[in-house]
Structure 1
Amino acid sequence: MDWDDLRVFLAVARAESLSAAARVLKCDAATVGRRVARLEEDLGAKLFLKSPQGYRLTEPGRRLIPHAETAEQAMSGAAEELSGQTGGLSGQIRIGAPDGCANYVLPQVCGAICDANPGLEIQILALPRMVNLSKREADFAITVSRPTGGRLTVQKLADYALHLAGDRSYLAAHPPITALADLRGHRMIGYIPDMIFDRELDYLAETGAPTVDLASNSVAVQMQMVRAGAGLGIVHDFAIPACPDVVRVLPEAIALRRTFWLVRHADDRRSERLTRFAEAFAQATRTEIARLETLAAGQ
């Protein structure tokens, strides 16, 4: 059995299409199809069923997955060992993250890590949804709820604060806000209710604030709405320093605390390279969030 055929098999299983797998593998879909057919012939078993939804694993295909992933880990470990990665980190690492974290924290964190490891390439996948590690969309995922199922390794990344905030221009044009009752009549900014992909993101329901009038599934868009003076919104403290005229409102009455979790596939725990990256990344993230929150408190 050829390892390269197994690599192609895993790419198709994760992408569920020949064309998507081809993009990952940087080859053409016809080549991917031939490699899958060759592996099926070698094994004497059909590994995929083609349907309108894409390529679905058959029962033999599902049984092959853990063996192929074991081979993948072995090849990765061998590459790390032979490359002598005892010093700096190198190669490509992809991180999936909520767009608030991706926009306001990760650029500084990843930039600093790359400065210390010139051979390292970091990709940030910013999505307003959960990242699928089983399909290998990323090496790591940052989540706002601790996952409880699946074959995953989970570690606490950092706690972070959120407050109600508004732009100085909006606050100057509206009556003073000194108590929760004063929020009535103010335009509220938040998530599109039916697109809240994690219960931890339902901020306004927790605070009892009025109904959302301006909404987006993107934290970055919500912050830009606040920055434009369009209303008030619950924002991450670590985002406030990027918007100098945005200030916290009723910080004692409306204060939320959440946690970021760093998640990876359980099979990757044997990768020294990914473990070393996780340690450096967690420390840098905690330090950066603390720095930004200190700046926000001083505004």
Structure 2
Amino acid sequence: MKNENWDDLKLFLHVAREGGLTGASEKTGVSPATIGRRLLALERHMGRGLFVRRQTGYSLTRDGQALLTHVVAMNDVAQSIGAWNEHVHQLPAVRISAGSWMSHFMAVNLDQLWTPADPFRICFKTAEIRLDLAHREAEIGIRNRYPEGNTLAARPIGDVAYAPYCASHFNMVRDCNWVGIGADDAVTPSARWLLAQKDLWVTVWANTPRMLHDLLRSGAGRGVLPCFVGDADPALLRAGDDIKDLYHRQWIVMHNDDRHRPEIRTLVERLAQLIEKQQPLFRGQRPRT
């Protein structure tokens, strides 16, 4: 057998269980004539007679009995998969709002934040602009400042340093050009800082942090990255001292009404522990020179 249609095998199963086309039609909503045609096509495809057809009903041949054993097992597996899939969609989803760099860090370390055995799903919402946690656009946010208002709760998770970086093959003696985020897309402090440095020669612009990273790796120039990104990339080197003006505290933010939900509490605790273990990297204490 090969390439059997599972829908045809399910029709075979219904006919075998109901003993005829009429009963199978009532179970499936497929007309008796259509079921009859599809069973004949199945028998021709397999080269085996599966039923003895009588006016009183359909009974299985020896080959039909053997096939029924396999189809029943397949149907049991299909039903268990369907039940599992339905259960998955009933699990609560936790949406995490973060910028490109923190989203990348969480993706690389996903196994320390979530496993398939967890009783919740996880959804990353990556954007440089802040989603509105107060109005439930996400359940958890990674932020660079303490939230305003009394509807949100926040937990500090350490500090973040920034520095200029370039590709390991970039000639820092000969070339002085920089790579930045264009003015229309410069929503982060690091992107705006570079725009404010009038004495730096920016020759290549990107519109996303991910593209900026790729351009730096290609040797397009110097650019500003958080140290937990730049120092972790073996293709990059520090191209100068850390930038004190960009050093900031980082926070996990959530809605006051959500912070005691088990799935949110679990994810916040795991995220805090993960970042705490990596604080030397986040604070720029592991430079690659």
Same fold (TM over 0.5): yes
Ranked by relative contact order (alpha carbons within 8 Å, sequence separation 6 or more), the top structure is 1
Partner of 2:3: none
Partner of 1:191: 181
CA spacing shift, 1:245–1:251, aligned 2, 3 Å:
same
Instruction: Within 5 Å, give how 1:208-219 maps onto structure 2.
Output: 210=200, 212-219=202-209
Letter in 2 for 1:190: G
What's the TM-score once normalised by structure 1's chain length?
0.57
Report the number of matched residues.
199
Alpha-carbon contact 2:163-2:224 (below 8 Å) kept: yes
Alignment partner of 1:278 is 2:279: no
Q: Which runs of 5+ in 1 are unaligned?
A: 1-89, 176-184
Q: Structure 1 residue 165: deviation in Å?
A: 1.0
Partner of 1:223: 213
C-alpha separation between the residues in 2 aligned to 1:236 and 1:169? Answer: 20
Letter in 2 for 1:278: V
Alpha-carbon contact 1:203-1:234 (below 8 Å) kept: no
Instruction: Within 5 Å, give how 1:14-29 maps onto structure 2.
Output: none
CA spacing shift, 1:249–1:261, aligned 2, 3 Å:
same
Alpha-carbon contact 2:162-2:242 (below 8 Å) kept: no
CA spacing shift, 1:161–1:141, aligned 2, 3 Å:
same
Partner of 2:192: 202
Q: Structure 1 residue 168: deviation in Å?
A: 2.1
C-alpha separation between the residues in 1 aligned to 2:133 and 2:160? Answer: 24
Letter in 1 for 2:137: E
CA spacing shift, 1:288–1:207, aligned 2, 3 Å:
farther
Q: Which moved more, 1:132-141 or 1:232-241?
A: 132-141
Matched-pair identity in %: 19
- Larger Rg: 1 or 2? 2
What's the TM-score once normalised by structure 2's chain length?
0.58
Q: Which runs of 5+ in 2 are unaligned?
A: 1-90
User: Aligned-pair RMSD on alpha carbons?
Assistant: 3.1
Q: Structure 1 residue 298: deviation in Å?
A: 4.1
Instruction: Within 5 Å, give how 1:1-299 maps onto structure 2.
Output: 91-103=92-104, 105-115=105-115, 118-149=118-149, 151-171=151-171, 174-175=173-174, 186-199=176-189, 201-204=191-194, 210=200, 212-251=202-241, 256-291=246-281, 296-299=286-289
Q: Structure 1 residue 207: deviation in Å?
A: 6.2
Partner of 1:27: none
Q: Structure 1 residue 247: deviation in Å?
A: 0.3
